Amino acid sequence: MTTTQPVIGVLALQGGVAEHLAALERGGAVAEPVRRPEELAGVHGLVLPGGESTTMTRLLDTFELFEPIRERLAAGMPAYGSCAGMVLLGSRVLDDRSGQDGLRDASSAASVRPLAALDVVVRRNAFGRQVDSFETDLDFEGIDGGPVHAVFIRAPLIEKVGSDVQVLATVAPAEPTPPERGRQESSRSEPDVAAAETSAGTIVAVRQGPVLATAFHPELVGGDERVHRQFVHMVRAC
């Protein structure tokens, strides 16, 4: 349409690239896939999509994009990460509770190397097997027009935030699942309990300056691009 539309890149190494490109276009941006440093240089902001943060870490190295993206972020480029993208934008990454407690920071040689654009501690695959994937409606600070429908897929959550980080949405405490009639209490599996505790009041969307992150996938909800529109506004404001 016009030159006033910001150009927003979507990191296109793996994951839900097409959905983000479409949501950004609907949200008022010119959206471009980014696979090479030269493509990164031409965008005003960048979306890091969902997928697998370990795989994306490897691909960022292979495509020689880790350092250029880190530098742009350090220089104030607006960014939005969903799910695995949120993991990559964090400062420290914890593994899921079933694995070793892999506390990793931006300087360690680990399977997930975060870009450290957000002062948060992120736990991968945090919701446990019972709620591996789920959908819910969330109040989202700064987004009008009612709750945002949120799709969580093997989602991370944010365990700690720095003082400059604004919490935009949390998952409400889960209702404990009543045991089925006639079912032995002892037959209830561990993950039921663990999942209920983990999802209680946990942080699933944050903003720090020009960086936005959600543990869920708004790009998968057709007909509602309010989160992407919010990011387009953030890019315009920079």
Ligand X SMILES: NC(=O)CC[C@H](N)C(=O)O
Select 125 or 198, whichever has its Cβ closest to ligand X: 125
83 as an active site residue: the answer is yes
Select 125 or 230, whichever has its Cβ closest to ligand X: 125
Residue of the chain from 6, 50, 114, 210 that contacts ligand X (CB under 6 A): 50
Per CB under 6 A, contacts with ligand X among 71-110 are 83-84, 87
| Alpha-carbon gap, residue 233 to 181, rounded angstroms | 51
- Say whether residue 124 binds ligand X (CB under 6 A): yes
Catalytic site residue from 19, 20, 217, 225: 217
Site size toward ligand X, by CB under 6 A? 12
- Say whether residue 51 binds ligand X (CB under 6 A): yes
238 as an active site residue: the answer is no
Select 43 or 84, whichever has its Cβ closest to ligand X: 84
Region from 39-47, 148-156, 171-179, 226-234 binding ligand X, contact rule CB under 6 A: 148-156
Per CB under 6 A, contacts with ligand X among 125-144 are 125
Region from 22-30, 70-78, 152-160, 182-190 binding ligand X, contact rule CB under 6 A: 152-160
Annotated binding-site residue? 124: yes
Per CB under 6 A, contacts with ligand X among 176-215 are none
| Alpha-carbon gap, residue 102 to 111, rounded angstroms | 10
Q: How far is the CB of 52 from ligand X (least distance, A)?
A: 5
| Alpha-carbon gap, residue 209 to 238, rounded angstroms | 10
Select 215 or 234, whichever has its Cβ closest to ligand X: 215
| Alpha-carbon gap, residue 106 to 123, rounded angstroms | 14
Tokens at residue 122, please? 């992120």
Select 45 or 51, whichever has its Cβ closest to ligand X: 51
Annotated binding-site residue? 188: no
CA angle at residue 82 from 169 to 126, to 5 degrees? 70
CA distances from 235 to 30, 39, 63, 205, 223 (A): 12, 17, 25, 18, 21
217 as an active site residue: the answer is yes
| Alpha-carbon gap, residue 225 to 67, rounded angstroms | 30
Catalytic site residue from 19, 20, 83, 228: 83
Summarize the annotated binding site as residue ranges.
51-53, 124, 153-154
Q: Where along the sequence are the contacts to ligand X (CB under 6 A)?
A: 50-53, 83-84, 87, 124-125, 153-154, 156
Give catalytic residues, as residue numbers: 83, 217, 219
